[in-house]
């Protein structure tokens, strides 16, 4: 059974999420349970509420667990197992600590001076008790994992625990990526694709990745935010229009379609949000077209509904005499905030129901 172990001592980063999703994928491929363990044994380092935040992130990324527990639930178990090692003369006391000798003659503390189990000892006990068969971890944790495996052997655990270590990534927090407007599907897509020599396509979802993912195909590749942006664009294009609109405070498929008009140049939900906000926000009348804008604003306010932009422009020309640039430029500013909007016809077809709100 694979597991994902994480300490509630800092914000989750992309490397940790990658470890979580690879363990989850393997559990699904092997049809085994997936265990999440909160390594909160060092209470003084824990950040209040961080464990809840971790679980919310896993849920946001659709990484479902079968079992969840905190190490602090098992304190008595660790202490009993440490006493057993002492009674079997596999551990010795030194200055109120309980210590085991490593194979290389180095020593390893398993119970500290405060009579608390050390993280390595607690993790080893948990992997044994949970009958973990595979450990997928960051390369930076390889030394600690080897120590844990040695402790499980001292404890008499005779089942083989395979260990695989992933190339370390930059410590970019998930909160920062989500805040920038990268969506979970795209982040997962990128982390699974990164360094993957056997990915059959560039764009995919987690359920599809489970069908073909091969852990042995993962190599080192540097994190590239521009590639993540491109993947994010594609996932936003695939997103349901109404769902996309909800990210901007709407429940209207047309607003989702409106946002997608700009996905050739924009790549994140925050960038799209700013664009939609500009369209629906108060327009800046302090420009060379301010007089024409005031005239057009008033005409639109008193005009009937028009199905197409051409019909609206003909009505404005009839009512004001404005034509050419003196019509097109100020009208574009009123509708989009940009006098050189090349998609004005398409924009109008999607915002015509909100025309009084937009053109002001």
What DSSP line would sit under 216-228, residue for residue? GGB------HHHH
Q: Above 80 in pLDDT, residue 7? A: yes
Residue 102, pLDDT score? 87
| Whether 39 contacts 71, CB under 8 Å | yes
Partner residues linked to 109 by β-bridges: 99
**pLDDT given at position 176:** 97
Domain boundaries, the chain: 1-221, 243-358
* Long-range contacts of the stretch 48-55 (C-beta < 8 A, 24+): 50/8, 50/9, 50/10, 50/11, 51/8, 53/8, 53/11, 53/12, 54/6, 54/8, 54/12
1.10.10, 1.10.287, 1.10.3470, 3.40.720: CATH of 243-358 = 1.10.10
The CA-CA-CA angle for residues 342, 202, 204, to 5°, reads 95
Are 1-221 and 243-358 equal in CATH topology?
no
pTM of the model: 0.93
Burial class (CB in 10 A: 0-12, 13-18, 19+), 131: exposed
CA dihedral 85, 91, 92, 93 (to 10 degrees): -70
Q: What is the pLDDT of residue 92?
A: 94
Instruction: Give residue 150's Cα distance to chain centre.
Output: 34
Contact 331, 296 (CB under 8 A): yes
Query: What is the CATH topology of the domain spanning 1-221?
Result: Rossmann fold (3.40.50)
User: Please, what is the Cα angle at 176 between 174 and 181, to 5 degrees?
Assistant: 95
Q: What share of the chain is helix, strand, coil (3-state, %, to 5)?
A: 55, 10, 35
Q: What is the mean pLDDT of the chain?
A: 96
- The mean pLDDT value for 170-174 works out to 93
pLDDT digits over 67-93, tens only?
999 999 999 999 999 999 999 999 999
Q: Does 106 score more than 90 pLDDT?
A: no
pLDDT at 105: 74
Q: How far apart are the first and last CA of the chain?
A: 60
β-bridge partners, 99: 92, 109
Between the alpha carbon of residue 84 and those of residues 61, 127, 187, 261, the distances in Å are: 41, 17, 45, 67
Per-residue model confidence (pLDDT) at position 306: 97
Task: Collapse the DSSP code of 148 into the 3-class scheme (helix H, G, I; strand E, B; otherwise coil) and give the result.
Answer: helix
Tell me the per-residue pLDDT of 282-323, one tens digit each, with 9 for 90 and over: 999 999 999 999 999 999 999 999 999 999 999 999 999 999
Question: What are the angstrom distances between the C-alpha of 188 and each of 18, 200, 203, 239?
Answer: 8, 16, 10, 15
Quick one: what percent of the chain has pLDDT higher than 70? 100
Residue 158 sits at φ, ψ, to 5 deg, of -105, 5
Rounded distance, CA 43 to CA 71, Å? 10
| Predicted pLDDT of residue 229 | 98
Check: CB of residue 210 under 8 Å from CB of residue 62: no
Give mean pLDDT, residues 116-134. Answer: 96
Spatial contact of 356 and 300, defined as CB atoms under 8 Å apart: yes
Q: Whats the size of the chain, residue-wise?
A: 360
């Amino acid at each position: 059974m694979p597991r994902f172990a994480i300490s509630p001592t800092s914000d989750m980063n992309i490397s940790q999420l990658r470890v979580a999703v690879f363990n989850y994928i393997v559990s699904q491929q092997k049809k085994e349970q997936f265990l999440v363990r909160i390594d909160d044994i060092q209470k003084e380092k824990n950040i209040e509420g961080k464990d809840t935040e971790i679980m919310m992130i896993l849920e946001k990324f659709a990484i479902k667990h079968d079992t969840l527990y905190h190490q602090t639930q098992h304190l008595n178990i660790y202490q009993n197992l440490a006493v057993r090692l002492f009674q079997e003369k596999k551990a010795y006391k030194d200055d109120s600590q309980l210590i085991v000798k490593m194979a290389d003659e180095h020593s390893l503390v398993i119970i500290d001076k405060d009579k608390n189990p050390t993280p390595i000892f607690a993790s080893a006990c948990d992997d044994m008790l949970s009958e973990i068969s595979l450990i997928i971890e960051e390369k930076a944790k390889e030394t600690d994992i080897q120590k844990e495996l040695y402790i499980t052997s001292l404890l008499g655990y005779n089942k083989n625990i395979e260990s695989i270590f992933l190339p370390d990534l930059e410590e970019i927090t998930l909160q920062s990526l989500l805040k920038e407007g990268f969506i979970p599907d795209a982040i997962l897509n990128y982390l699974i694709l990164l360094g993957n020599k056997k990915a059959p396509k560039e764009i995919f979802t987690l359920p599809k990745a489970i069908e073909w993912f091969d852990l042995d195909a993962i190599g080192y590749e540097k994190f590239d935010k521009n590639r993540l942006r491109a993947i994010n664009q594609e996932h936003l294009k695939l997103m349901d229009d109404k769902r996309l609109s909800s990210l901007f405070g709407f429940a209207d498929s047309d607003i989702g379609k409106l946002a997608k008009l700009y996905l050739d140049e924009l790549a994140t939900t925050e960038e799209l949000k700013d664009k939609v906000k500009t369209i629906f926000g108060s327009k800046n009348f302090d420009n060379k077209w301010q007089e024409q804008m005031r005239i057009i604003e008033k005409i639109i306010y008193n005009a009937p509904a028009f199905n197409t932009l051409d019909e609206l422009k003909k009505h404005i020309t009839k009512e004001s005499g404005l034509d050419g640039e003196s019509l097109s430029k100020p009208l574009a500013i009123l509708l989009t905030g940009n006098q050189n909007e090349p998609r004005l016809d398409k924009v109008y077809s999607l915002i015509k129901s909100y025309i009084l709100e937009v053109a002001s």
